[in-house]
């Protein structure tokens, strides 16, 4: 049986950064990846725009991933690809993991685990689409896999439901490859994706965006032949009489991403219903001592730069992880915040460079983000606007606020109209 | 006055452009690159394109590529036609030029992955 200090599960951008950071901090590290190649979803994200924050360069997904993969190999780090983790167990000395691959079944042990399992796309079944079950209903990620990895165009004429970033990227991608995208339909009254993607993916290619519209039914026996579109009211319920039928051979769904935490749940890691990822402290350690979380498994990020950053935080802290008792206090997010990560601070850790991520619940203009400790404002920052699709990031030195076990940390957003 | 959303970085600033005595005045941008982008949108809009090309390798039927420099927006589909005529027969590396100076636009078509180094023919 092989013994490691740190076992990283997932070889995408979060796992790669975590493994590199754990190794650099002296931990004997193993990375496990179920696919044949490292890089995770970035392998199929061939569009550019990655790495602007980290490298000040506009890289494509493969270019960004391969910078980390090159470093990973240069450091002689160990990865097992085409390998699944089928079981995780916690025991007195740490964790054991059952791995299955082409060599058979083996068990490895590790003192700390880093869960870098990414996220999954919401499917048609999760957004209540009625009708037959023909081929041609794909998630945007599946359509991207067909187009960018297999070289097969999955549609000639399609409708995209949901204005998430992958849906917008795929609208452009399919158009470039000669397919007709009839439109992007979004049930909400505001787009879900980044504003720049609405412009460079839809407007540039004259692809219409219909807000407050949804797909209510699909038609077709073997292959999709048409979809029914309807306008929705402010409760997102279809308005009868507004239905129209659109002929198409594919329906592409970009209706949200959910952090993947099946393995975490088997170890009773506490999840946050808002992020759908583990509740973590600023070291990105979960409610279970020795288990760390990072990347899209922790919360869905819009920029890979932040995924890598959280991987590094988790990797460094997993390597530094000692059995010292934790003393955690909550970081409370006010009602104007959709959520904030981390949800807790460990007073026994160094909180000098705490990285705070948050999203506003609604589109807000002229606002101030405030941190109060025991009712006293210790930090504030003005934002001309905050939008839920665009995650904000701050680095805060919490060590200067003389935090004690009874301290109350509160995050709030104030808007001008409050005054 | 023209309004446009900047696509240079994920911030997505809303910018306004005014023409005064033949010169452009940009407001709403939060960096220099934003102003440059706004003026270029008014004069000669440019974009990068990222796509794939065919290969002869069965395990990796397509290879991701991009243009090495921005190309005029109205030439996107012409450049796509040129790119789609490429078939990669060698295990090229990330950054290798697959087509030089496409349509004399001053941009090369370059591979963006080492993918083919990892597969066999």
Q: What is the pLDDT of residue A406?
A: 87
Do both A275 and A360 map to the same domain? no
Which ipTM was obtained for this model?
0.90
Domain ranges of chain B: 2-43, 50-118
Q: Which architecture does CATH list for B50-118? A: Roll (3.10)
Interatomic CA distance for residues B34 and A265, integer angstroms: 45
The Cα-based distances of B91 to A38, B59, B94 in angstroms read: 18, 12, 10
- What is the tens place of the pLDDT at every residue in A106-131? 999 999 999 999 999 998 777 778 77
Counting one residue from chain A and one from chain B, the pairs whose CB atoms sit within 8 A come to: 77
- What is the tens place of the pLDDT at every residue in A140-176? 999 999 999 999 999 999 999 999 999 999 999 999 9
Which of A207, A237, A255 terminates a domain? The answer is: A255
How many domains, chain A? 3
Contact A250, A136 (CB under 8 A): yes
In which element (H, E) is residue B71 found? Answer: strand B71-72
Please say if the pLDDT value at position B61 is more than 90.
Answer: yes
Judged by a CB distance cut-off of 8 A, whether residue B94 touches chain A is yes
Judged by a CB distance cut-off of 8 A, whether residue B54 touches chain A is yes
Q: Which residues of B touch A37 (CB under 8 A)?
A: 115, 118
CATH code of A6's domain? 3.50.50.60
Range of the domain at A399: 327-419
Interatomic CA distance for residues B66 and A59, integer angstroms: 10
Q: Kindly determine whether residue B10 and residue A194, on different chains, have CB atoms separated by under 8 Å.
A: yes
Judged by a CB distance cut-off of 8 A, whether residue A199 touches chain B is yes
The pTM (predicted TM-score) of the whole model is 0.84
A97-101, A250-254, A265-269, A320-324: segment of lowest average pLDDT:
A320-324
Do both A351 and A205 map to the same domain? no
Q: Kindly determine whether residue A63 and residue B49, on different chains, have CB atoms separated by under 8 Å.
A: no
Q: Kindly determine whether residue B64 and residue A62, on different chains, have CB atoms separated by under 8 Å.
A: yes
Do both A245 and A188 map to the same domain? yes
Interatomic CA distance for residues A398 and A392, integer angstroms: 18
Q: Residue A273, exposed/middle/buried by CB under 10 A (0-12, 13-18, 19+)? A: exposed
What's the pLDDT band for A250 if we cut at 50, 70, 90?
very high
Which of A323, A350, A374 terminates a domain? The answer is: A323
Do both A288 and A305 map to the same domain? yes
CA dihedral defined by A276, A282, A283, A288, rounded to 10 degrees? -50
What backbone phi and psi angles, to 5 degrees, belong to A8? -105, 125
CATH code of A360's domain? 2.60.40
Q: Kindly determine whether residue A196 and residue B66, on different chains, have CB atoms separated by under 8 Å.
A: no
Q: Kindly determine whether residue B10 and residue A302, on different chains, have CB atoms separated by under 8 Å.
A: yes
Q: Which residues of B touch A147 (CB under 8 A)?
A: 52
What backbone phi and psi angles, to 5 degrees, belong to A30? -125, 135
**What Rg value do the Cα atoms of chain B yield, rounded?**
18
Q: Kindly determine whether residue A195 and residue B47, on different chains, have CB atoms separated by under 8 Å.
A: no
Interatomic CA distance for residues A144 and A138, integer angstroms: 10
Here the tokens at position A287 are 């409610």
Interatomic CA distance for residues A14 and A296, integer angstroms: 8
- What is the tens place of the pLDDT at every residue in A276-329? 999 999 999 999 999 999 999 999 998 999 999 999 999 999 999 854 566 789
Contact A121, A104 (CB under 8 A): no
Interatomic CA distance for residues A181 and A202, integer angstroms: 10
Do both A29 and A80 map to the same domain? yes
């Amino acid at each position: 049986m092989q013994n490691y200090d740190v076992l990283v599960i997932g070889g995408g951008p979060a796992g790669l950064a975590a493994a590199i950071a754990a190794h650099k901090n002296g931990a004997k590290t193993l990375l496990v990846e179920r696919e044949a190649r490292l890089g995770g979803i970035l392998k199929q994200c061939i569009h550019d725009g990655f790495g602007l924050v980290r490298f000040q360069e506009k890289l494509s997904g493969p270019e960004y991933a391969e910078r980390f993969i090159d470093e990973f190999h240069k450091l002689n780090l160990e990865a097992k690809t085409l390998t699944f983790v089928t079981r995780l167990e916690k025991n007195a000395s740490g964790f054991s993991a059952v791995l299955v691959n082409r060599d058979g079944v083996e068990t490895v042990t590790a003192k700390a685990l880093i869960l870098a399992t990414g996220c999954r796309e919401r499917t048609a079944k999760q957004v209540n689409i009625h009708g037959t079950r023909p081929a041609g209903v794909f998630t945007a990620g599946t359509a991207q896999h067909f187009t960018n990895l297999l070289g097969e165009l999955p549609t000639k004429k399609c409708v995209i439901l949901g204005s998430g970033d992958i849906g917008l990227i795929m609208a452009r991608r399919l158009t470039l490859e000669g397919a007709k995208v009839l439109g992007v339909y979004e049930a909400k009254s505001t787009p879900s994706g980044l504003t720049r993607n609405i412009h460079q993916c839809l407007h540039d290619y004259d692809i219409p965006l219909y807000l407050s519209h949804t797909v209510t039914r699909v038609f077709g026996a073997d292959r999709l032949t048409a979809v029914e579109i309807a306008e929705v009211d402010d409760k997102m319920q279809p308005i009868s009489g507004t239905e129209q039928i659109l002929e198409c051979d594919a329906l592409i769904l970009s209706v949200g991403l959910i952090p993947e935490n099946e393995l975490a749940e088997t170890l009773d890691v506490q999840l946050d219903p808002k992020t759908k990822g583990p509740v973590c402290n600023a070291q990105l350690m979960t409610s279970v001592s020795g288990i760390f979380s990072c990347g899209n498994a922790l919360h869905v990020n819009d920029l890979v730069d932040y995924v890598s950053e959280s991987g590094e935080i988790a990797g460094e802290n997993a390597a530094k992880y000692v059995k010292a008792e934790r003393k955690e206090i909550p970081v409370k997010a006010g009602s104007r915040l959709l959520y904030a990560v981390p949800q807790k601070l460990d007073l026994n850790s160094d909180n000098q460079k705490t990285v705070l991520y948050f999203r506003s619940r609604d589109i807000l203009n002229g606002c101030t983000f405030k941190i109060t400790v025991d009712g006293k404002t210790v930090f504030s920052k003005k934002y001309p606007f905050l939008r839920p699709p665009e995650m904000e990031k701050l680095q805060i030195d919490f060590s200067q606020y003389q935090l004690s076990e009874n301290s109350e940390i509160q995050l709030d957003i104030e808007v001008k109209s409050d005054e | 006055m023209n309004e446009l959303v900047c696509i240079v970085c994920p911030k997505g600033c809303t910018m306004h452009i005014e023409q005064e005595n033949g010169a452009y005045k940009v407001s709403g941008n939060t960096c220099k690159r934003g102003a440059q982008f706004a003026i270029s949108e008014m004069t000669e809009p440019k974009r990068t394109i990222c796509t794939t090309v065919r290969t002869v390798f069965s395990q990796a039927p397509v290879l991701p590529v991009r243009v090495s420099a921005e190309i005029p927006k109205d030439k996107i589909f012409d450049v796509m036609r040129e790119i789609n005529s490429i078939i990669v027969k060698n295990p090229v590396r990330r950054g290798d030029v697959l087509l030089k100076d496409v349509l004399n636009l001053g941009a090369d078509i370059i591979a963006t992955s080492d993918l083919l180094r990892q597969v066999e023919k």
